[in-house]
Amino acid sequence: MTTQHIPGTAAPLPGTADPLPGTAGHTGAPAQAPDPSLIATLPGHFYTDPGIFRQEQDRIFESLWFCAVRCDDLAKPGAFRTVQIGRESVVVTRNRHGELRAFLNICRHRGARLCVEAAGEVRRSLQCPYHAWTYDLDGKLIAAPNLTSMADVDRRAYGLRPVQLREWLGYAWLCLADEPPSFEDTVIGAAVERLGDVASLDRYRTTDLALGKRITYDVKANWKLIVENFMECYHCATIHPELTDVLPEFADGFAAQYFVGHGAAFGEGVKGFTVDGSAGFGRLDGLLDEQDRRYYAITVKPTVFVNLVPDHVILHRMFPLSEDRTVVECDWLYAPEVLASGVDLSRSVELFHRVNVQDFEACERTQPAMSSRAYRQGGVLVPSEHHIGGFHRWVTERLSLTS
Ligand code: FES
Ligand code: FE
């Protein structure tokens, strides 16, 4: 795993050696449950087969709402970011009225990639670097060499292909589907399912928080291993010593954090959600007393994790790039006044950075084994992991959809 920091305070922890590359697996049905306590996982080839990954690109990442960009990263009109969603490159920008817009990053002339940088800023328009077709920030074709001599060309019809966009939690969520699924059901519904209501999440006012730190992790593992890892705490006592010091109930390995509305309580004597349990920052305005000294985790399938603690929010966005490589961008979000004060964030950031490194190392250790003959039929889930079976059913149901 490699990590990349944007300017900030926490030092990266050492990465691990590269795992062996995954290989395509073979076809095999899920194993029968060998014991009532255990249920079968997906077979190994679900994590290594490029064909399955292509289906996931089609039926999951390109079909559902995908959390792409923090809105504040596009502060001014003309700022843009490019993101990979499934097999498509998408450019997200802010138009002259300050509204976010997203387009397939493809020139309508002969298909050149329009924006080649990951991020940048233009004054008024996006110009293709090939033959200079030029589009305004709403995607309309506004100029091209000799365009005036082609009066019949409909400039809207040859505009950039728009992508559906919703803003939520201060992020731009995009959907490539012609008919997107209900955002309320599939995205906001995940928070309701976890917390019991959306008001409990709204109180953190994530939209108004500011980015204190971003770390990008390049994880050599299939995206589903990362989701499964986030969904269970059976591993917490083994690999997360700092986290279980702060949240002692995680040391039991039960998935208590997944009971509706339950937040894991800080340990006695713990002052804040920091790497050494020292004090964090003031409680975010609007939180209820019962949300204080608690940690809540939400999985928004397919690629987002939201972590709520009293003084900040940590949000992970995954970008699955291949069957054995996933880039994870993790944002630490604080009250703007905390950042304005110039206070040291390092102990606050370091706790979840260590958790991330510990988790992603575990995923990278698991990935090469997915192509082993020992894992052809898959592995097993213990009772505290049984809810991961629901995730596996969700994946296989999505893949069996007819397109
Ligand atoms: Fe973009 Fe020709 S491909 S202008
Ligand atoms: Fe973990």
* pLDDT tens digits, 178-187: 999 999 999 9
For the stretch 233-287, pLDDT in tens is: 999 999 999 999 999 999 887 655 457 788 999 999 999 999 999 999 999 999 9
What is the model's pLDDT at position 156?
Answer: 87
Fold of 66-168: Rieske Iron-sulfur Protein (2.102.10)
Q: 116 CB under 6 A from ligand 1?
A: no
Q: Of ligand 1's atoms, which has the minimum distance to the CA of residue 107?
A: 1
Looking at domain 39-62+196-400, its CATH class is alpha beta
Confidence of residue 3 (pLDDT cuts 50, 70, 90): confident
Ligand 1 in reach of 119 Cβ (< 6 A): no
Residue range(s) of every CATH 3.90.380.10 domain in the chain: 39-62+196-400
pLDDT at 13: 30
141 lines ligand 1 (CB under 6 A): no
Which residues 6+ apart lie within 8 Å of 137 measured at CB? 77, 78, 93, 94, 95, 96, 101, 122, 124, 125, 126
For residue range 69-106, list pLDDT tens digits in order. Answer: 999 999 999 999 999 999 999 999 999 999 999 999 99
Distances (CA, A) of 246 to 124, 167, 221, 346: 49, 33, 28, 16
Please name which ligand lies nearest the alpha carbon of 111.
1
CA of 148 to the centre of ligand 1 (A): 16
Percentage, residues of the chain above pLDDT 70: 90
Cα–Cα distance for residue pair 368/360, rounded to 1 Å: 13
Name the average pLDDT for the chain.
Answer: 91
Would you state the pLDDT for residue 32?
55
Contact 106 CB / ligand 1 (< 6 Å): no
Whether the CB of 109 sits within 6 Å of ligand 1: yes
Task: Considering the chain, tell me which residue range(s) the CATH 2.102.10.10 domain(s) occupy.
Answer: 66-168
Measured in Å, residue 144 CA sits from the centre of ligand 1 at 9
140 CA distance to ligand 1 middle (Å): 14
Residue 150 CB neighbours (<10 A): 8
